Amino acid sequence: MILSSITHALKTQNWFAVIVEFIIVLAGVVIGFQISAWNETRIEHQREALILDRLHADFVEIEARTTTTIDQLNDRIEAGNAFEDLLRRDQNEVSDLDFFLGLQNAIGTPVPNGRSATYTELVASGEMRLIRSEALREALVEFDEQVRRQELAYASLARLITDNAGILLEVQAYASNDPDSLPPHLYAALAEIRQSAEVYTAARLTTRANFVNRVWHEGTLERAQAVLAAMETGEAP
């Protein structure tokens, strides 16, 4: 209808009508673009809200898991120190049961808790742009970098323990709920291992590995809490 009006105005050389009709068409196009942009922005904000909800759930869980792991590491470090003290004693005065219980509580070190699945998905899909808070984006990047470095450090710690503290795993193979049930010919072998310097060295190494692992987990917890704090500030415009 507008096109026919413009055509008629041109034929009659009614330039005022032509200008008015042209302005109407142009205004319609501009309004259409604005409505489309507004709708796209609204959809992106809805998507951002969903992403923030998922990130919050991820990091609340990460915070809880990491806190639990730090508690476990504190217990292992305490148990490791107690096991070292036990090894300093005359092994003839330490029962097999006490030895195995001390070993069981001290050996091993927990693995890192891993990345945020939502953040990994955001990076892969290119949707990080939807997060308007620069502080939150920076906190997410710093957390993921912390986890990456922690995983590399853990691989080194695990290799260190495997290469140098494997004797503890060998000794653990003797363990049972009833140490007195061991075959008689194994007691001499077990006694010799318990008296060896390698067992004491391996125990100390494992305790120190747990100490280093705790430091890494504490750093990860701090970064996870920074992400949650950035979400709570609501800096997005």
pLDDT, tens only, 119-156: 999 988 888 888 989 999 999 999 999 999 999 999 99
Q: What is the pLDDT of residue 235?
A: 47
Higher pLDDT, 77 or 108: 77
Q: What is the pLDDT of residue 237?
A: 37
Q: What is the pLDDT of residue 44?
A: 59
The answer for residues whose C-beta is within 8 angstroms of residue 5's C-beta and 6 or more apart is 17, 21
pLDDT, tens only, 10-40: 455 555 555 656 566 666 666 656 665 555 5
Higher pLDDT, 73 or 7: 73
Region of poorest pLDDT, from 175-179, 185-189, 221-225? 175-179
Q: What is the pLDDT of residue 61?
A: 96
Cβ neighbour number for residue 199 with a 10 Å cutoff: 21
Share of the chain above pLDDT 70, in %: 76
Cα–Cα dist 164/206, whole Å = 9
Q: What is the pLDDT of residue 47?
A: 84
Place of tokens 């193979």: 173
Burial environment of residue 230 by CB neighbours within 10 A (0 to 12, 13 to 18, 19 or more): buried
Q: What is the pLDDT of residue 40?
A: 58
Q: What is the pLDDT of residue 107?
A: 84
pTM of the predicted structure, to 2 decimals: 0.76
Burial environment of residue 54 by CB neighbours within 10 A (0 to 12, 13 to 18, 19 or more): middle
Name the average pLDDT for the chain. Answer: 82
Region of poorest pLDDT, from 92-101, 108-117, 124-133, 175-184? 175-184
pLDDT at 7 over 50: yes
Token couple for 30: 């501009």
Q: What is the pLDDT of residue 104?
A: 84
Place of tokens 């503290």: 165
